[in-house]
Amino acid sequence: MTAPATDIRSILFVCWGNICRSPSAENMMRKQLDASEFATIQCDSAGTISDHQGNPPDSRMSAAGRRRGLPMTGRARGVTRSDFVTNDLILAMDKANLADLRRLAPDDNALGKLRLFCEFCRNHDETEVPDPYYGGHKGFEHVLDLLEDGCDGILEHLRNQ
């Protein structure tokens, strides 16, 4: 099957440390893309800080993700200048991440690629994906619910382009 035409060939998910929200979004989106007509679209994730560089996803987030069939692969890394060139859509998990990305963006073209992840949510009213790091089990589950909703919305967006 030939994939429908889309301007988006790569998506970058960004949170603060790249150990909870953004790697979960990357893994969820990749799983959904692989099962769709958009399997050639690349996904990656990064953080606006590099404190956790090289670390795997948070163990609590990984456990919650695995319960939903997500592989939870990847290693934390910081956003780089090349991310603004190689990715067609850059999705921030919250407004602070978006502000950081706007400061890091090298030009207007890069700024045009930035959006809040929750803009793609269809069933949740939140405008930001909350950081579950200091929360309990329910916080991780809520984040995964938001990510699933938003990734479904991204697929819908791709199909409607």
| CATH label of the domain that carries residue 79 | 3.40.50.2300
Is residue 147, in this structure, part of any structural domain at all?
yes
Is residue 107, in this structure, part of any structural domain at all?
yes
Beta strand segments in the chain, E = 10-15, 42-47, 89-92, 114-116
Residues with a known catalytic role = 15, 21, 131
Is residue 1, in this structure, part of any structural domain at all?
no
The domain tally of the chain equals 1
Is residue 3, in this structure, part of any structural domain at all?
no
Q: Which residue has the tokens 């692969």?
A: 73
pLDDT tens track, the chain, 161 positions: 455 668 999 999 999 999 999 999 999 999 999 999 999 999 999 999 989 999 999 999 999 999 999 999 999 999 999 999 999 999 999 999 999 999 999 999 999 999 999 999 999 999 999 999 888 889 999 999 999 999 999 999 999 98
Residue from 75, 88, 60 nearest 27 by CA: 75
Instruction: Identify the domain containing residue 44 by its residue range.
Output: 10-160
Global pTM?
Answer: 0.95
Is residue 77, in this structure, part of any structural domain at all?
yes
H or E stretch covering 60: helix 59-67
Is residue 57, in this structure, part of any structural domain at all?
yes
Residue 18: which region, alpha, beta or left (left: phi > 0; alpha: psi -120 to 50)? left
CA-CA distance, 68 to 87, in Å (whole number)?
Answer: 27
- Using DSSP's 3-state secondary structure scheme, residue 84 falls into helix
Do residues 46 and 10 touch, judged by C-beta distance below 8 A? no
